[in-house]
């Protein structure tokens, strides 16, 4: 495996560890709901959107560099960046869909 592949593998392993820790945190018990949780969620969501935006910008920059023939950027780098941006965007859309679904369920509850 080359250096670039090893870095990608390490990054994927880090994402897997992060996902496992989030999953474990979610299974620890009921979550305390207070006013700070709303601001924490909004900050977390804003940060996630900024990350997705950054991935998309990076993907576009790498694609442009490949199109212009920049020898520092390989086609593989551009394709991987594009796939990362695509996966991140799809995950964001799924989160948005779940939030809208939850909002509709709450609004449909009798008072």
Quick one: pLDDT at residue 1? 44
User: Which residues in 23-43 are b (16+ Cβ under 10 Å) and which e?
Assistant: eeeeeeeeeeeeeeeeeeeee
Quick one: pLDDT at residue 39? 74
Tens of pLDDT, residues 26-52: 455 444 545 566 678 888 888 989 999
Per-residue pLDDT of the chain (111 residues; tens, 9 = 90+): 445 556 667 777 776 777 666 545 445 544 454 556 667 888 888 898 999 999 999 999 999 999 999 999 999 999 999 999 999 999 999 999 999 999 999 999 987
What does pLDDT average to over the chain?
81
The pTM of the whole model exceeds 0.75? no
Quick one: pLDDT at residue 54? 94
- Long-range contacts made by residues 104-107, C-beta under 8 angstroms, separation at least 24? none
């Amino acid at each position: 495996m080359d250096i670039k592949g090893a870095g990608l593998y390490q990054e994927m392993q880090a994402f897997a560890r992060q996902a496992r820790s989030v999953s474990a945190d979610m299974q620890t018990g009921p979550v305390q709901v207070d006013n700070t949780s709303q601001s924490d969620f909004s900050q977390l969501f804003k940060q996630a959107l900024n990350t997705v935006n950054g991935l998309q910008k990076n993907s576009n920059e790498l694609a442009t560099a490949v199109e212009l023939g920049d020898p520092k950027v390989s086609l593989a780098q551009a394709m991987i960046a594009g796939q990362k941006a695509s996966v991140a965007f799809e995950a964001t859309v799924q989160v948005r869909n779940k939030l809208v679904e939850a909002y509709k369920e709450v609004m449909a509850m009798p008072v």
